[in-house]
Structure 1
Amino acid sequence: MRAHKITFAALVVAAGLSLTACQNDDDAAAQTDPSTVATASPSSGGTGSGGSDQASPGASSGGKDTSAGSGSGSDESGKAAKCRTDGLKITAIDNFIDGDPKGTVAVEMKNSSGRDCVIAGFAGVDLKTNEGTLSAERKGAPGEPYVLKNGKSIAFSVTYPLNETGGTGVRITGLVVTPPNETKSVTLAWPGKPSLPVTDGSGEPVTVGPIGSAGQGG
């Protein structure tokens, strides 16, 4: 079943592209388990992102107890610590289906930290292009904070306009992802269509959905 695609808030690609900061708030996310994809190593830099730092023990997803409990990977109160960039294996795949009006890329975050952690809200997403860096804006309603078990994955979608003008458009050269509540980013190869259309400011946006907005089916 193909990943569920979330539409996002407006960001336009214009001939004179401006740099914007990607922000995230203290909202929350739902669980997912997308397909296996190619990996990239973390690197410092990129835009920061926001979300909740902790979830209460016993917070549930899908009716199951997702309490991390005390011990390794918990803070002094016994709650699971937030997910860190260094403990996440972040990957991306093209999720476009022929006939769709927009392109979609699914970004997966796998907990490889050796402990449970809490993840919530929106990741920061920047597209690197030959015209500069474009920061995707948030779109969608986050869910509750989610305790991501060690070895499990969760994902979100990046939606972008298709270049159907016949021209070369704005060439995409990379995807920069910053997990919620983090300032350390990873840079991935862009797996989607190679370019965005050039517009006068009235074109379709590039947007990012909340954590859990890909891989849910339906």
Structure 2
Amino acid sequence: MSSSATVRTARRRTLRLAAAALTAAAGLTLTACSGADASAAKPAGRTDAGAVSATGGAGSSTGAQDSDAQGSGAQGSGAQAGSGTQAGSGTKTDAAAKQPGGAHAGGGGGAGTGVQRCHTSGLKAAFATGGDAAPDPDASGGTTTSIVLTNKGSSACKIGGFPGVDLKSENGGERWSLARSSKKFSSITLQPGDSTDFTLNVAMTKEETGFYQPAFADVTPPNETTSLTVKWPWGTLVDQRSATHPGTFVNPIG
């Protein structure tokens, strides 16, 4: 073989070895890149599955995205801003889901409260004076008179129990807080304009001594602290302000 042929053969071998080396290096580079991508993808995939399993629903979606957002670098920050927006949407969804419950709770509260009790400001009082409402001054023993309470408000109210009744003289100096009977009672509902009444057992007298002459009656509805004043339309009572069991006393409403 000539010297020129020997040189050409050596060059071809050198080129083949160089090409083979380049091919092997490229293969190693590609393998390293794909291995890095796979290892980076797998944790994100596991995080998603774990978040959905742990929390479920819309919250799980937000939680998974938040985990992805914490991945790395600027890309993680961008993803976190996006998931923040979506978390806001999740919050709206939660609020919308809770809204019917809140409305129901509000309605339940209204239903639970029901009709309020009657307040002094929503009532007016008057003695019943028509027909046979007047107490019999000639009755031997006790007789009765009635005080009518009317709902003057614009909504229904509930009332029941013992009102307070204080009789007072013309100048108000002599007061008599009437005792209560032992009668049982219940509550009743007054629609606007409706009335109810309660009775006073009264011991009337025509004697010139030992009597008490009321001029007014202060009526305090049950559970209230302010009263309604009505004029006393009848005659004198036996003065039993210090008696243990007076013949003049209050009966309950309802």
Per-residue CA shift, 1:172-210, capped at 9, x if unaligned? 1211100011001011100121x2234684784320001
- Alignment-derived partner of residue 208 in structure 2: 166
- Alignment-derived partner of residue 156 in structure 2: 116
Q: What secondary structure is seen at the aligned counterpart in 1 of 2:128?
A: strand
1:34-49 alignment, distance < 5 Å: none
* Residue 126 (1) aligns with residue 161 (2): no
Task: Please identify which structure carries the higher helix content.
Answer: 2
**Cα contact 2:187–2:253 (8 A) shared by 1:** no
Displacement, 1:158? 1.2
Change (3 A) 1:177 1:167: same
**Cα contact 1:120–1:146 (8 A) shared by 2:** yes
Structure 1: gaps spanning 5 or more residues = 1-69, 213-218
Matched residue type, 1:196: L
Change (3 A) 1:171 1:120: same
**What TM-score do the two structures reach when normalised by structure 2?**
0.48
Matched residue type, 1:105: T
Structure 2: gaps spanning 5 or more residues = 1-105
Provide the identity percentage.
Answer: 28
Q: How many residues align?
A: 140
**Cα contact 1:105–1:192 (8 A) shared by 2:** no
Q: 2:113 and 2:239 mapped to 1: Cα distance?
A: 51
- Alignment-derived partner of residue 177 in structure 2: 135
Of 136, 149, 174, 1:97 maps to 136
Displacement, 1:159? 1.7
Q: Which has the larger radius of gyration?
A: 2
Higher RCO by CA contacts (8 Å cutoff, separation 6 or greater): 1
Displacement, 1:98? 5.7
Per-residue CA shift, 1:48-75, capped at 9, x if unaligned? xxxxxxxxxxxxxxxxxxxxxx99xx95
Q: What secondary structure is seen at the aligned counterpart in 1 of 2:214?
A: strand
Q: 1:104 and 1:79 mapped to 2: Cα distance?
A: 34
1:1-218 alignment, distance < 5 Å: 77-94=112-129, 95-97=134-136, 99-101=138-140, 102-129=142-169, 132-167=174-209, 169-193=211-235, 195-198=236-239, 201=243, 204-212=246-254
Matched residue type, 1:96: P
- Alignment-derived partner of residue 21 in structure 1: none
**What TM-score do the two structures reach when normalised by structure 1?**
0.56
CA RMSD of aligned residues (A): 2.8
Task: Please identify which structure carries the higher strand content.
Answer: 1
The range that moved more, 197-206 or 155-164, is: 197-206
Change (3 A) 1:119 1:75: farther
Matched residue type, 1:138: R
